[in-house]
Amino acid sequence: MDKREFLKGSAATTAAMIVTPLTTAKAFAEDAVPRTNWSGNYHYSTNKVFQPASIAEVQDAIRSVTSVRALGTRHCFNDIADSRVAQISTLKLKDISIAPDGRSVTVGAGIRYGDLASVLDAKGFALHNLASLPHISVGGAIATATHGSGMHNGNLATQVTALEFVSADGTVHKLSREKDGDRFNGAVVGLGALGVVTHITLALQPRFEVTQVVYTDLPFTELEHHFTDIMRAGYSVSLFTDWQRGLAGEVWIKRRADQGGGAAPPPLFYNAKLATKKLHPIPDHPAEACTEQLNIAGPWYERLPHFKLNFTPSSGQELQSEFLIPFDRGYEAVRAVEGLRDKLTPHLFITELRAIGADDLWMSTAYKRPSLALHFTWKPETAAVMNIVPQIEAKLAPFQARPHWGKVFTMNVSQIEALYPRINDFRALTHEFDAKGKFRNKYIHDHVDKA
């Protein structure tokens, strides 16, 4: 994203079927969709926002405009969801239908994981993983390859077994893993470029309980020889660092109760000390916003995210960047970024390191690569962040780092295309469903497809 893209004013458009008035994130009419993203760092370029509550209304909306983008819960930090003409908010598409055999659930694409998870849990079901926050829509998360952590956990898009979407001419399409094989793999992480996803089918498993413990001050020297063992010490493991002291200030380990998670944790973990009080990943932030720790078992959806649904996740006023590299080069990459510590720490709330399983989804950041994600939660200092991000990208270029699609990065389409072996197939797939580029915005042009 170009520095100038931040904080630009919205271009008011008045010829809307459903028009959302020009608003700020703080003050908006009851049924309006705010005109900034969640963090407030990006103003969308249109005030025309459709809010369909049915597939037919999605079809009507798409047919009525020349250009449009789907919009979920607005948690991306860049212009990926932007449109100069119109957006289609999916938040009224939130129905839930569990298959009679209990193997899958089909949901409206706008439902938030947090709202879905409690329903699933009450019926005895679970999803395999969640992101750090439950506030995001399922459709928005899978479109950008949103992930949690865990060496054997694919990202959230790998839960998808079928998709229903409306393409540029208003036709409804259904693709499934079972029937459509490779094309399905191309469509799931769709970056909003194939159409508006209306329903998503997700694989279910029986509900499970998870415990969470936090250790403090794990020396980076332990990572040199034990990186894999550390990252597989739980079902989901996150390391947090401010890069300054050659250590991970916090290590969060989430263990499934059915995989030994109930056992008492040892007081030392690779020379890190077991925390005896609840902690927030960002030092000095109140831990009440965080899911329970201290080895207290609880349902999967109240432990796998770091943050609780009814609290502000992370810091709130922030930017984020993230880069995924091959897991087996993880330690090397950590040391490479550490070389920038004095430049990045002043602008950083915290860095998180997570492992993600490989997958077959063409535009997934973990495509065919077991991955390590190096994440940066920045203070809301746009100029400084836009200065440091290219330096991180340069440090991580030898590792073929793939930027998170929904966060702040500066890599252009030539750099991106070298990282995705199936990008030409993806471009062809989007042209098949959207020959005239109705869903192609500036972000897609700048980073995915110049055509």
Ligand X SMILES: Cc1cc2nc3c(=O)[nH]c(=O)nc-3n(C[C@H](O)[C@H](O)[C@H](O)COP(=O)(O)OP(=O)(O)OC[C@H]3O[C@@H](n4cnc5c(N)ncnc54)[C@H](O)[C@@H]3O)c2cc1C
**CA–CA distance, 363 with 448 (Å, rounded to integer):** 10
Is the CB of residue 370 less than 8 Å from the CB of residue 355? Answer: yes
Residue 444 binds ligand X, judged by CB under 6 A = no
Which CB, 192 or 326, lies closer to ligand X? 192
Which amino acid, residue 126? A
Which amino acid, residue 141? A
Which CB, 114 or 190, lies closer to ligand X? 190
Dmax over CA atoms of the chain, in Å, equals: 63
Q: Where do we find the tokens 């699933």? A: 120
Which of 45, 59, 144, 201 is close enough to bind ligand X by CB under 6 A? 144
For residue 437, how many other CB atoms are within 10 A of its CB?
Answer: 17
Under rule CB under 6 A, which residues in 338-397 are in contact with ligand X?
none
Alpha helix (H) ranges present in 397-441?
A: 413-417, 423-433
Which CB, 136 or 175, lies closer to ligand X? 136
Q: How far is the CB of 337 from ligand X (least distance, A)?
A: 18
Q: Which structure tokens are listed for 451?
A: 């055509």
- How many residues contact ligand X, by CB under 6 A? 36
Strands 268-269 and 172-176: unpaired
Q: Is 123 left (phi over 0), alpha (psi -120 to 50) or beta?
A: alpha
Strands of the sheet with 96-98, listed across from one edge: 96-98, 104-108, 196-203, 160-166, 172-176
Which CB, 86 or 213, lies closer to ligand X? 86
Distances, alpha carbon 350 to alpha carbons 130, 244, 388, in Å? 20, 11, 14
Q: What is the DSSP string of 291-329?
A: PP-TT--EEGGGTSSSB-TTS--S-SS-EEEEEEEEGGG
**CA–CA distance, 391 with 251 (Å, rounded to integer):** 26
Which of 20, 45, 46, 146 is close enough to bind ligand X by CB under 6 A? 146
Residue 70 binds ligand X, judged by CB under 6 A = yes
Which of 85, 189, 196, 230 is close enough to bind ligand X by CB under 6 A? 196
Alpha helix (H) ranges present in 325-422?
A: 330-338, 341-344, 382-396, 413-417
Residue 80 binds ligand X, judged by CB under 6 A = yes
Would you give the binding string for ligand X spanning residues 312-341, x where CB under 6 A is met?
-xx-----x---------------------
Q: Tell me which stretch binds ligand X (CB under 6 A): 191-199, 217-225, 239-247, 412-420.
A: 191-199
Which of 212, 406, 422, 430 is close enough to bind ligand X by CB under 6 A? 406
Residue 160 binds ligand X, judged by CB under 6 A = no
Residue 133 binds ligand X, judged by CB under 6 A = yes
Residue 117 binds ligand X, judged by CB under 6 A = no
Residue 254 binds ligand X, judged by CB under 6 A = no
Q: Which structure tokens are listed for 321?
A: 């960047």
Would you give the binding string for ligand X spanning residues 12-51, x where CB under 6 A is met?
--------------------------xx------------
Cβ-based neighbours of 153, under 8 Å, separated by 6 or more = 128, 129, 147, 235, 236, 356, 357
Which of 32, 49, 81, 204 is close enough to bind ligand X by CB under 6 A? 81
Q: How far is the CB of 266 from ligand X (least distance, A)?
A: 27
Residue 86 binds ligand X, judged by CB under 6 A = no
Which of 132, 153, 158, 241 is close enough to bind ligand X by CB under 6 A? 132
Which of 73, 211, 293, 382 is close enough to bind ligand X by CB under 6 A? 73
Residue 143 binds ligand X, judged by CB under 6 A = yes
Q: How far is the CB of 246 from ligand X (least distance, A)?
A: 25
Residue 111 binds ligand X, judged by CB under 6 A = no
Q: How far is the CB of 101 from ligand X (least distance, A)?
A: 26
Q: Tell me which stretch binds ligand X (CB under 6 A): 65-73, 170-178, 239-247, 391-399.
A: 65-73
Instruction: State in Å, rounded, how far the first CA of the chain is from the last one.
Output: 18
Residue 166 binds ligand X, judged by CB under 6 A = no
Rg of the chain on CA atoms, in Å: 21
Which residues of the chain form contacts with ligand X (CB under 6 A)?
38-39, 69-76, 80-81, 90, 109, 131-133, 136-137, 139-141, 143-144, 146-147, 190-192, 196-197, 313-314, 320, 404, 406
